[in-house]
Chain A
Amino acid sequence: KAGVTQTPRYLIKTRGQQVTLSCSPISGHRSVSWYQQTPGQGLQFLFEYFSETQRNKGNFPGRFSGRQFSNSRSEMNVSTLELGDSALYLCASSSLPGGVYEQYFGPGTRLTVT
């Protein structure tokens, strides 16, 4: 079974631009969560989607948004990029939402904002 895939793997953007990242979960998994990883803050939860609905959201500004499609693929968007948005963005999928289902991570998208 293929794992979680994320595209693109690397991205360089300029301050003020916007960016869209994509995540395809493991086949059959319907829950997708997004995390931001930085050296200073570690791994921080962004949001979680299930059945095209956002179920949970972390403490990030409104510039960070996401959505999920009917095939469970998910995208996250960051508008008006800031230098501090440079990070590894990770997507994780699980079969169902809820605290008893294991989450499997993709390789991440490395975003650099200049």
Chain B
Amino acid sequence: GQQLNQSPQSMFIQEGEDVSMNCTSSSIFNTWLWYKQDPGEGPVLLIALYKAGELTSNGRLTAQFGITRKDSFLNISASIPSDVGIYFCAGQGTGTASKLTFGTGTRLQVTL
């Protein structure tokens, strides 16, 4: 099945550092969503983006919907240990389809 290209695949950072990850697609999406998943749990929605060029923040998280509608990035500032997990981007299609196409995931590990 289709997956979006997400990078980096994994990151090891120190507490307090900023993190940046991005997602690219060959297809246009109407909505970009960013999720975080902890082991054995379902993805938790972090940020939703609805318009090309939109920049949205949620606490220490900032995400942008690319102008071309084919990419998005997520930044986490001043990382803390509870940021550990796998982050997924997801694109939601045009028209009336609710189907989400997910990225390959970025595994974030934070060291003290």
Judged by a CB distance under 8 angstroms, whether B104 is at the interface is yes
Does the CB pair B104–A42 fall under 8 Å? yes
> CA–CA, A100 to B92, complex, Å?
8
Find chain A residues with CB under 8 A from B108 CB: none
B96 contacts A45, C-beta separation under 8 Å: no
- Does the CB pair B42–A4 fall under 8 Å? yes
Interchain CB contact under 8 A, A45 and B99: yes
Q: B100 to A45, Cβ gap below 8 A? A: yes
- Asked if B42 and A108 make an inter-chain contact with CB atoms under 8 angstroms apart, the answer reads yes
| Nearest CB of B to A82, in Å | 17
Q: Which residue of B lies closest to A31 (CB)?
A: B98
Give per-residue flags for B39-50: 1 if the beta carbon is below 8 A from chain A beta carbons, else 0. 011111100101
- Give A1-44 as 1s and 0s: 1 = Cβ < 8 Å from B's Cβ atoms: 00010100000000000000000000000010101000001111
B98 touches A99 (CB 8 A): yes
Q: Is the CB of A105 within 8 A of B42?
A: yes
Q: Which residue of B lies closest to A57 (CB)?
A: B99
- B1/A44 in contact, CB under 8 A: yes
In the complex, the answer to whether B42 meets A33 with C-beta atoms within 8 Å is no
